[in-house]
Structure 1
Amino acid sequence: MPDDTHEYDDDAVAALEALAPVPLSAEVALSQEALSQALSRGTRTLLKQPSLVIVVEVPSRDWVGPIGEALPKLASRIAVKTADELQRANKSDQRVGASTLQHLQAGRTVAYVSQDPEAILDEAVLAAADATIVIPPLTAALLRKVIRRVSKQTARGVTAEMAELPLPVILSAIRPGLPARASVANLTRALEMCPAPPVSSSVPLLSDLPLTSTLRSWTDQTMADLAAVRAGTLPADQLVYGVLEGAPGTGKTLLAESLARTAGWSFVSSTIGNWFTHGDGALGGVARNIKDFVDAVLAAEPCIGYLDELDGLPDRATMDNRARDWWTPIVNLVLVEIDRLRRSGKHVLLLGGTNFYTRLDAALVRPGRLQRRVTFLPPQDADEVIAFLRHFLADDLADTDLSPLVRFASGATPAAMEGWVKEARACARAAGRPLQFDDLLTQIVPEDTRSQADIRAISLHEVGHALVAHRLGHVVETLSIIPTGRSAGYTRSKLPGLLLNMEHIRDTATVMLGGRAADIVLGNGAHTGAEGDLEAATRILLAAYERQGLNDSLLYMPAISTRPDPSIVTAVAKDLRHLLDRAITMVNAERELAYDLADRLIASRILTGKEVADCLGDRLRPASGARRSAPLPDTRRMAS
């Protein structure tokens, strides 16, 4: 039986292949078209000049190789150095490219190709650079040209989303010998197989979220900007990066996710803590995690990147020398990476999240970085409180008047409201019936199991705060003996302004000590319930003396030592004693009125600011004095 197999001589095959025309690959076509688009007549001439240094910045790491291979075809004596990452040497990451500069001495022009020249290339290269050529991100128009070059056919149906696919996916979809429609079909299938990181469908759309008026205004403007960037009518570098700041449970992360889902953008998130728990936790590992986060945001465009626990990056101005040595490279790298996002030209919006905005490094929140401060506050009025409760209740209690709950729910965070609703539903399920109004009321105002003596002591303590605050011109907003977290009760009042002088600081400390004064004058003496008040009063007085120049010295003491000066400690202790005596005098002068207010508080469990003001009357002494500028110690709202 004859053998049907054939043996081919390797040399003969090679000869035949040499005679056949080499088809144009997608990689070569893309490189040529991208360079053609980016190079002007002047820059083409520069590439052919001797002894020049040219930096070529490409959209992403995947572009470095293709552009690096295409450049020598434009100028025969050009030396190309591709640089897509730092070089590991002596247990640290080193910038690259300095050694390639030696080609200049032979009269050759050197071109450096990198996705992030400022972070990767050696300072000597950056200093020597005669010109920088920026290769713009791939567009639908450029992608159509590439398909036409490879297939020799017109490509129809190419979309902007296809141009945002990872470059290796795009190049593998466009193949020599395939008709244009097949390449477009491959790209369409790739969109289905390689979607951007999805936002969970359980995340509500912005239209379904109850938002305070301030947040609604910010989300409306941001949505308009995201749409304009996507449509190409607004440059991506015009997006304003920002920080979402507010107390825990105010919905910062949820709103960032909802913004991404509503805009149709992908969502990539990380936390400062994750950078330390993933990997070895050493400086190099943390640095790699930082860069990986930024790379992930860039790769997922259009994308909203969200960096939570932003206050985990310390403020360099408040660090001691030991902490500064370790943290400064980390903080600096984060700043550089934010700048890389901004310069990339890609459709990305970076947001940070924090519970402590005042702890952030000044360079982190300066204009051009995370400059916009978006403040999350609890619902501010009855309509907002009811809107948030309705959101979490969904179809439950649809025909029930929720206004009686406003007094008790005012000031609560959205997370607290959601928790109440979940607990109320659990109780209703256990009872085998639908949710009832009383189920929700019981969660918001739980049965008080404390003794009558404790309830009265707590009421007297809070009344002391309220009375002193009202008499000193601070607006009391809420007075409550309903337990919340670790607090047995609270008095919420507003500070007199944004900029406080020393008299304002002492008045505020007096309000904080009003509870201890009431314990002594109205109750059975000082007790442990004033610990938080003493801490807060001590901190604002220390800040006035040590940081804000509101005593006889203008020295900023943390710049000299991390420990308080003994003389300042003595002065603050003396101030605290004097201010407590002042509060005691104020409470003692109105004992009967204070007892009356305490009785009302015990009966109602919570009083509004108006009810407090009606009881105490209008005999108040407005805070006064020369207004010297002093930074607000911590927050405009004080609760004790």
Structure 2
Amino acid sequence: MSGLFDNNDDIDDEIPEFDADGATEPSRENAAQALAALALETALARQARAAIKRQPTLVIMQVPSSDWTHIIAAAVKRMDRAPVVRSVIERVRKGGVDHRMGEEELSYLRQGLSVLYISQNPKGLLHEAVLSSVDVTVTIPDMTQAMLRKLIRRVTGGVARGVNDDMVKLDLSVILSTVRSELTAGECVANLRRAVSRRPEPTRSAVPMLTDLPLTKAVRTWADQTLSDLDAVGAGSLAPAQLVFALLEGPPGTGKTLIAESLAQTSGWTFVPSSVGAWFATGDGALGGVAKNLKAFVDQVLASEPAIGFLDELDALPNRATIDNRGRDWWTPVITLFLTEIDRLRSSGRQILLLGASNYYERLDAALIRPGRMQQRVSVQPPQTDAEVCAVLRHYLKSDLTDADLGRLARIGRGATPAMVEGWVKQARSLARAENRPLKPGDLLVQIVPDDHRTPEDIRTIAIHEMGHAVVAHRLGHTVESVLLFPLVKRAVGCGASS
């Protein structure tokens, strides 16, 4: 590794593919050293290598994830005429303020030395003075099947057969621990296959397709356009950076999570859910543990592409503009890290869409919902029209009851959330099962209309009063489509009455 950059200027050669009979015997290295060499040889073209050899030079090297920083740093430090190496994987908090890093190493340039920064998110983590002074920018490529095969060949001396995309997406630490020089190539592949089988399956719930969901007009418009964009990204006709991260907001029970899951199911993208609460529930709940869980979520989204990352309970992150001083000291690092991680997703170039959900949009931090982050606001509200309520009822009732029954029930249930409707249907079916009979409209009406404890005489008086309104309206020339006598209907016939 020590002569990686200075054999000669003809430095675009790739590591050769070895044939099956092992005619070419590579030198044995451990997996971390071999992977770093492969990655650098792939990433550094002739011009970049020549520039790095000049001094002083400022180089920024972007790696696929923070796990890569230590192995790349170790490889660069073993170079002849190695530059000063600084790994930057997160901001540092000093005096209650989060600071971008790397400014102090710039002094080495004035001493005639080269400086190389390694980071998974240079734009979000490095100081502006570093970004403004860079001479060479190098991007270390993501792991590929070809790179993994070459890695196994370089470490074991054998030919790796059966390498697939699932193995490539394993955590870097898993790959480096399963590829070892004392194993054969076949044993390394078997280890990787076993690691894939042990990895939890991505969440892929049996959720309905978008076309089957009863969505309001505004949500349907957004969902259809987003689905079209996801298809375009998958086909290569739209750059992933053009996807617009969005936040689904609205009252509890309106189906925000279901919509996100359905979008993933319909598009064929992996659904990776999490929540702010989950970051606290897993681990010790301290600042370091929360930060670790947040980063783990982002890493999982990146490793699962094409993927839709979904974050629930975003209003659990307080607004820095309104939080008190005591809370600000604890929460600011969490919020700042989250914003940085969103930027890492945005700048990754991966097929990633990030969605969030909140019941309280007005409580969100302004930096979270600004353009470039979770900028698109999608309002998910309860159904307001009879047609929208009917659509939700039909979704949960399937083929039960007639459209006419649903039309009468919809007038009563207007404004109910989909979660409420689902609860009504479950309770109504339970009532019908208990009596060993088919579902009736009255079973559902019992759930929609609350129990009435008035006397029959009071109910009759109210009914006559309401019918009087209808008669007067009719005599004045208005059309009276129906009169819903909730208490009488519920007690007598269990269905809507029309006039």
TM-score normalised by length of structure 1: 0.59
Could you say which residue in structure 1 is the equivalent of 2:302?
298
- The Cα shift of 1:63 comes to 1.0
Query: Offset of 1:419 from its aligned partner?
Result: 0.8
Give distance in 2, aligned partners of 1:398 and 1:458: 29
Give 1:145-156 correspondences, 5 Å limit: 145-147=150-152, 149=154
* 1:209 equivalenced with 2:209 (yes/no): no
Q: State the match for 2:406 in structure 1.
A: 402
The 8 Å contact of residues 246 and 378 in structure 2, kept in 1 or not, is answered as yes
Aligned to 2:261: 257
Tell me the equivalent position of 1:28.
Answer: 33
1:627 matched residue in structure 2: none
| Alignment-mate amino acid for residue 55 of structure 2 | P
> Could you tell me whether the CA contact under 8 Å between 1:196 and 1:266 is conserved in 2?
no
- Classify 1:243/1:193 alpha carbon distance in 2 versus 1 (closer, same or farther; 3 Å): same
Distance 1:286 1:185, change over 3 A: closer
RMSD (CA atoms): 4.5
Give the distance between the partners of 1:295 and 1:206, measured in 2 at CA.
Answer: 27
Map Cα deviations across residues 458-516 of structure 1 (whole Å, 9 max, x no partner): 99xx9xxxx9xxxxxxxxxxxxxxxxxxxxxxxxxxxxxxxxxxxxxxxxxxxxxxxxx
Query: Is contact 2:28–2:156 with CA below 8 Å preserved after alignment?
Result: no
Instruction: Write the distance in 2 (CA, Å) between the matches of 1:141 and 1:457.
Output: 82
Aligned residue among 66, 71, 74 for 2:71: 66
Q: Which one of 382, 385, 391 corresponds to residue 378 of structure 1?
A: 382
Counterpart of 1:346 in structure 2 is 350
Task: Note closer, same or farther for the CA distance 1:437–1:235 as it changes in structure 2 (3 Å cut).
Answer: same
Q: Does 1:369 align with 2:373?
A: yes
What's the counterpart of residue 242 of structure 1? 246
Q: How many matched pairs?
A: 457
Q: In the alignment, is the contact (CA less than 8 A) between 2:28 and 2:154 conserved in 1?
A: no
Distance change (3 Å), C-alpha of 1:148 and 1:206: farther
| Partner Cα distance (1:283, 1:151) in 2 | 41
Give distance in 2, aligned partners of 1:211 and 1:279. 37
Contact 1:118 1:126 in 2 (8 A): yes
Counterpart of 2:272 in 1: which secondary structure? strand
Query: In structure 2, how many angstroms separate the alpha carbons of the residues matched to 1:410 and 1:374?
Result: 21
Task: Determine the structure 1 residue equivalent to 2:120.
Answer: 115
Shift of 1:334: 2.9
Contact 2:67–2:172 under 8 Å retained in 1 = yes
Q: How far apart are 1:44 and its partner, in Å?
A: 0.8
TM-score, normalization: structure 2? 0.74
Q: How far apart are 1:84 and its partner, in Å?
A: 3.7
Q: Could you tell me which of 197, 205, 208 is aligned with 2:202?
A: 197
Question: Which of 298, 309, 313 is equivalent to 1:309?
Answer: 313
Aligned to 1:426: 430
Unaligned ranges ≥5, structure 1: 1-19, 468-589, 607-640
Give me the whole-angstrom Cα distance separating, in 1, the residues matched to 2:394 and 2:191: 46
Q: Is 1:165–1:191's contact at 8 Å kept on the other side of the alignment?
A: yes
Amino acid paired to 2:196? L
1:442 and 2:446 are equivalent in the alignment = yes
SS in 2 for 1:352: strand
> Is 2:48 the partner of 1:43?
yes
For 2:459 and 2:139, the matched residues in 1 are separated by: 70
SS of 1:226 mapped into structure 2: helix
Q: What do residues 209-236 of structure 1 show as CA deviations (whole Å, max 9, x unaligned)?
A: 3334443443343334334445555433
Distance 1:49 1:361 in 2: 45
Change (3 A) 1:234 1:39: farther
Structure 1's 336 and 457: CA in aligned 2 closer, same or farther, altered over 3 A? farther
1:377-398 Cα deviation digits (max 9, x unpaired): 3335555433322322245448
1:208-227 counterparts in 2 under 5 A? 208-227=212-231
Residue 70 of structure 1: SS of its match in structure 2? helix
Query: Aligned letter for 2:356?
Result: G
- Greater shift in the superposed pair: 233-242 or 157-166: 157-166
| Larger Rg, first or second structure (1 or 2) | 1
395-404 or 45-54: bigger deviation? 395-404
Amino acid at match of 2:410: V
Query: Matched residues in 2 for 1:244 and 1:458: separation?
Result: 42
Aligned residue for 1:402, secondary structure, equals: helix
CA distance in 2, matches of 1:309, 1:294: 16
Q: Name the stretch that deviates more: 377-386 or 91-100.
A: 91-100
Contact 1:268 1:306 survives alignment (8 Å): yes
Structure 2 Cα separation of the partners of residues 416 and 358 of structure 1: 24
1:335 equivalenced with 2:378 (yes/no): no
CA gap of 1:289–1:455, structure 2 versus 1, over 3 A, is: farther
1:371: how far off?
1.7
Instruction: State whether residues 164 and 301 of structure 1, in contact with CA within 8 Å, keep that contact through their aligned partners in structure 2.
Output: no
Matches within 5 A, 1:135-174: 135-147=140-152, 149=154, 158-174=163-179
